[in-house]
Amino acid sequence: MQCLLCRIPTEKYLYKNGYWIYRCPRCHLGETNLKKDYSQFVKEFYSQGYYEGDPTRSAYASYEADKPLIVRNMHKFLSVIRAKKSTGKLLDVGCAFGYFVELALSKGYDAYGFDASHFAAGEAGALVGKSRIKEGTVQSVSYPKNSFDIITLFDVFEHLQDPLADMKKLAGFLKKDGVILIATGDTRSIAAKVFQRRWTFYIPPQHIFFFHRKNVRELLKAAGLRPRSWFRVGKWLSLGYVLHLARTTGESPFARFLYQVIKDTPFARFPLYVPMKDNMVIEVSKM
């Protein structure tokens, strides 16, 4: 394994879910050793169970049932976008079931999305229309050059195969004065430091890259992009989702028990505001 940015050998950092996360001794960029072909992995891993509480997936308890909370979190991002671009063509990378595309359409944007998951892309197509959704990875999809005003990556950056090559390609789809909004985890946040290996962002194999401000800035620069502003957000999550994360990535036996007790009850949908702020939201423009 070698660092995507520094091109020097990385070191074993943390072992979890049967995978090693390596870390660069210079810039501290973390990378999961996936041990298999990315496109094959994507096909197998982002199945229906990923969105519906598969205990081996450490992903969503129920993406569909949590839609109201997911959309509530998305409103914050939309307000940031509206302050920059009140109209235009928008591309949501890793659009899952298309909730952000739907929200953007309702506010008058000409919105599109793609997702690597066959299952999710199918759901998104059913929601907003097949002509707006593609199935594929950043490297496999294509759109006209300089055609989008806004490109968004919400909780997607850490799943990318090669964020440097992928951001270069996405930058090609973006108009000269376009805006990219990225939300990802921050390995130098307080939560990451406190929870260490139990930090919810450390979930190999789906999370492949682990950034902080300094190295993500370096990566963006190498892709011809420049961060314009940074902020952190708290998130609304359902109790079921929090317990699902705690039982999987948190490795908590108590959460495992409690999740089983409440998962089919209305308590599973109980909304919790989680002010962890272990993320970084980055507004990016072309250089």
Residue 177 to residue 66: CA distance in whole angstroms: 34
| Interacting positions 21-60 with Zn ion (CB under 5 A) | 24, 26-27, 29
Contact in structure between 163 and 157 (CB atoms under 8 Å): yes
- 1 or 6: CB nearest Zn ion: 6
Distances (CA, A) of 190 to 58, 230, 257: 22, 16, 28
Closest CB 182 distance from Zn ion, rounded Å: 19
- 29 or 101: CB nearest Zn ion: 29
Closest CB 220 distance from Zn ion, rounded Å: 14
- 17 or 32: CB nearest Zn ion: 32
- 26 or 221: CB nearest Zn ion: 26
- 3 or 69: CB nearest Zn ion: 3
Interface with Zn ion (CB under 5 A), residue from 5, 81, 116, 156: 5
**Any contact of residue 219 with Zn ion (CB under 5 A)?**
no
- Amino acid at position 137, single letter: T
| Interacting positions 115-154 with Zn ion (CB under 5 A) | none
Task: Classify residue 116 by burial, with Cβ atoms within 10 Å: 0-12, 13-18, 19+.
Answer: buried
- 29 or 74: CB nearest Zn ion: 29
Sole window of 16-24, 121-129, 162-170, 194-202 interacting with Zn ion (rule: CB under 5 A): 16-24
Closest CB 8 distance from Zn ion, rounded Å: 6
Distances (CA, A) of 58 to 41, 50, 124, 227, 245: 15, 8, 21, 30, 6
Number of residues that bind Zn ion (CB under 5 A): 7
Closest CB 10 distance from Zn ion, rounded Å: 7
- 21 or 237: CB nearest Zn ion: 21
Instruction: List alpha helices for the chain, DSSP H.
Output: 38-45, 48-51, 67-84, 99-106, 118-128, 163-173, 190-195, 213-222, 239-248, 253-262
Which sign, positive or negative, has the C-alpha torsion 51, 243, 216, 6? negative
Closest CB 227 distance from Zn ion, rounded Å: 18
Interface with Zn ion (CB under 5 A), residue from 1, 6, 65, 233: 6
Residue 120 to residue 135: CA distance in whole angstroms: 9
Where does this chain bind Zn ion (CB under 5 A)? 3, 5-6, 24, 26-27, 29
